[in-house]
């Protein structure tokens, strides 16, 4: 059992999460995404100093966040609780029952 699972299980015993489990709405997991850039030209054949860097949106996630998501997904799934993921665009957050 991971550290997150142990902490969440302890919270469950004290009813901290009772309203999460009782809600019919899925839990929303929000995850930040780091800013990343790549050359505008073909990355295998950069054109040199005149090349420009372009921002990559919604392209990457940090490893620590990925591990945390795996623990949360496992924990929610083992208890039959539906969840879904929101990236850096938070459209739909108001409809959420709970946000982690």
Q: 83 near 72, Cβ under 8 Å?
A: yes
pLDDT in the model for residue 26: 85
pTM of the complete model beyond 0.85: no
Q: What is the mean pLDDT of residues 70-81?
A: 87
The length of the chain in residues reads 100
Beta bridge partners of 55: 37
CA atoms within 13 A on the CB side of 38: 10
Percent of the chain with pLDDT over 70: 70
Sign of the alpha-carbon dihedral angle for 40, 42, 44, 45: negative
Residue 93 has pLDDT above 70, yes or no: no
Confidence of residue 51 (pLDDT cuts 50, 70, 90): confident
pLDDT tens-place string over residues 41-50 = 766 666 666 7
């Amino acid at each position: 059992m991971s550290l997150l699972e142990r902490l969440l299980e302890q919270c469950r015993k004290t009813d901290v999460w009772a309203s999460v489990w009782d809600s019919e709405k899925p839990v929303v997991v929000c995850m930040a995404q780091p800013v990343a850039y790549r050359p505008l030209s073909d990355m295998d054949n950069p054109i040199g100093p005149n090349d420009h860097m372009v921002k990559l949106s919604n392209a990457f996630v940090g490893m620590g966040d990925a591990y945390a998501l795996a623990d949360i997904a496992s924990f929610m799934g083992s208890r039959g609780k539906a969840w879904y993921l929101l990236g850096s665009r938070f459209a739909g957050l108001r409809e959420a029952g709970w946000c982690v």
